[in-house]
Amino acid sequence: MTSTQDRPVDGAPAPLPLLLRSAAAGWSTYADIVVVGSGIAGLTAALRARELGSVLVVTKDNLSAGSTRWAQGGIAAAIGPGDSPDQHLADTMVAGAGLCDEAAVRTLVTEGPDALQELIDLGTRFDTAESGALQLTREGGHHRNRIVHAGGDATGAEIQRALVAAVHRAPDIEVVEHALVLDLLLGDDGAVAGATLHVMGEGQRDGVGAVRCRAVILASGGMGQVFDATTNPSVSTGDGMALALRAGATLRDVEFVQFHPTVMWLGDDSRGQQPLVSEAVRGEGAFLVDHDGRRFMQGQHELADLAPRDVVAKAITRRMRETSTPHMWLDARGFGEQKWTERFPTILASCREHGIDPVTELIPVAPACHYASGGVATDLDGRTTVPGLYACGEVACSGVHGANRLASNSLLEGLVFGRRIAADLARALPEGREPAAERRTPGLVDPAVVAELQHRMSEDAGVMRDRDGLARTLGAVGKLSADSRSIPCTEAWEATNLATVSTALLLAAQAREETRGSHWREDFPDTADDWAGHLDTTMESDGRLQVTYTRSTTPRGTNA
């Protein structure tokens, strides 16, 4: 790794649990490879890895419930006339605002078209033109039509359907649903030896158990539930990032959280997952207005309503503050019934379900947490800094997204890097090892503090940040994270994971004294050359988080 300016930055004010407190494992099992998560990244890896040995997929809800099925926009691939991987690379690097790893992006854009074809061969039905060619649309930041979609705005649901059907056709893949992976079991050498997990009602596998294995592939998605409002499903509580930290892995660039500008606003009290109104709606001509009907994006950016999503999110947040209102409005009345029905059936149904008819009415919208661009640091083969632990999809930081993910690159990333992990395991499946006696002190955060934590994170670590707000919330989260006497349960494990990733996010956001990509500091409004590097977070042996800045852009992976 080339590193010219490594330097530690302030550590967390309070220690966090080094392990989730739980009952002792009451059952055990074995699989060569454990996949945690069942979205596009996890199921792609599982379908490929089944040729290498026994595969166990562990998923928190049912096989179809993760983030992938909620993706509306589509999947980007340079397959259109006049397009090329180089142009896709250029657009991705611009969006990433100087922090993309070019080798990772090149891998994504060159392997993307083949990976997409594999998804089609698996049975995914993307929308086609009358000629039979795939329909390609454009989203913010792309200079070519290269977004493949399905069912109009139901791309993720169709991909998930096809992947789940493929898993059902592969009886050698074992699936455990309604199971939360708690922590990794590590060997004496710090390498992966297995994992502990809690299963709800799986017959003999009920309660806390242990699975021994040779490798774990983390594909558990993001951490949107850290905030009051998010497009992520309720399972996105940062479990993968938190357990990786506790196992000794490095998180990278977790301050870069993308807020989607147009998420349906359902009232002050509405919390958790909120309905997305795809950027593609603005791509087709819809526009934002304030409460007086004024189009406030004009003059803010040359692309007005189709400016990059962080610019739009910030403009909406500003206008909300200026007018002391909790949302703005999206005007798509010009589409008419037919276009709504054919192009955006999912969004139309979701609006109507909430009593809004977008054919004749404005849609209330506000920014909400959408995507974590940072995550568990990996190399080009998905290897983390913990031998035997791999990561792909939203939980990972592969270097593809940099400081801001380009629209519709995330499904592609899950697909490409899920395949690469399986290929790496095919080259060298790690040896199995005995778990060492556990020396990490367990702890738990009280689930009763979660609402307060989410509120503070939304106030001070959301779209707009500054030193005072971040310091205030870091102090508060430190207090909220104090070890509790809560009885071990899913809510307490999730609360601990939420507190852990919130602390990592706050520390990195506080350290990065500049504005770059999706990280907006009101007190440091400019991008600074000095900060053209990465913030890596690790957990020390006392449970405190340590953040280190390095200018290196070389991905790290040590389990060669």
Binding site for ligand SIN (CB under 6 A): 72-73, 278-280, 407-408, 410
Closer of 67 and 107 to ligand SIN (Cβ) = 67
Tell me which H or E stretch contains 182. Answer: strand 179-186
Of 226, 251, 222, 257, residue with least CA distance to 236: 222
- Residue 429 CA to residue 390 CA, distance in Å, equals 12
Cβ at position 36, least distance to ligand SIN in Å:
22
Tokens read off for 487: 């009885």
Closer of 309 and 456 to ligand SIN (Cβ) = 309
Closer of 137 and 196 to ligand SIN (Cβ) = 137
Of 430, 325, 419, 331, residue with least CA distance to 381: 419
Beta bridge partners of 175: 57
Annotated active-site residue 252? The verdict is: no
Closer of 260 and 534 to ligand SIN (Cβ) = 260
- Residue 361 CA to residue 277 CA, distance in Å, equals 14
- Residue 377 CA to residue 398 CA, distance in Å, equals 6
Of 475, 287, 504, 192, residue with least CA distance to 375: 504
Cβ at position 517, least distance to ligand SIN in Å:
14
Closer of 462 and 543 to ligand SIN (Cβ) = 462
Cβ at position 360, least distance to ligand SIN in Å:
23
Closer of 196 and 278 to ligand SIN (Cβ) = 278
The sign one gets for the Cα dihedral 404, 406, 407, 411 is: negative
Cβ at position 261, least distance to ligand SIN in Å:
9
- Residue 164 CA to residue 44 CA, distance in Å, equals 10
Cβ at position 211, least distance to ligand SIN in Å:
32
Residues 218 and 54 sit within 8 Å (Cβ to Cβ): no
Closer of 32 and 305 to ligand SIN (Cβ) = 305
Phi, psi values for residue 259, rounded to 5°: -105, 125
Closer of 394 and 494 to ligand SIN (Cβ) = 394
Cβ at position 506, least distance to ligand SIN in Å:
24
Closer of 410 and 458 to ligand SIN (Cβ) = 410
Cβ atoms within 10 Å of 292's Cβ, excluding its own: 7
Residues 444 and 133 sit within 8 Å (Cβ to Cβ): no
Of 538, 164, 139, 551, residue with least CA distance to 377: 538
Tell me which H or E stretch contains 177. Answer: none
Of 301, 320, 317, 294, residue with least CA distance to 367: 317
Cβ at position 310, least distance to ligand SIN in Å:
12
- Comparing every residue's Cβ against ligand SIN, the nearest one is 73
- Which regions of 493-544 does DSSP assign to beta strands (E)? 534-539
- Residue 61 CA to residue 66 CA, distance in Å, equals 8
- Residue 39 CA to residue 280 CA, distance in Å, equals 22
- Residue 557 CA to residue 378 CA, distance in Å, equals 6
Give the side-chain half-sphere CA count within 13 A for 345: 9
Beta bridge partners of 194: 185, 212
Gyration radius of the chain over CA positions:
22
Q: Which residues contact 468 (CB under 8 A, 6 or more apart)?
A: none
Residues 409 and 76 sit within 8 Å (Cβ to Cβ): yes
Cβ at position 139, least distance to ligand SIN in Å:
6
Residues 255 and 505 sit within 8 Å (Cβ to Cβ): yes
**Helix axis angle, 410-427 relative to 102-121, nearest 10°?**
90
Out of 144, 146, 212, 309, pick the active-site residue.
Answer: 309
Tell how strand 396-397 and strand 375-377 pair up. Answer: parallel
Cβ at position 370, least distance to ligand SIN in Å:
6
Closer of 232 and 408 to ligand SIN (Cβ) = 408
Cβ at position 417, least distance to ligand SIN in Å:
16
Catalytic residues: 309
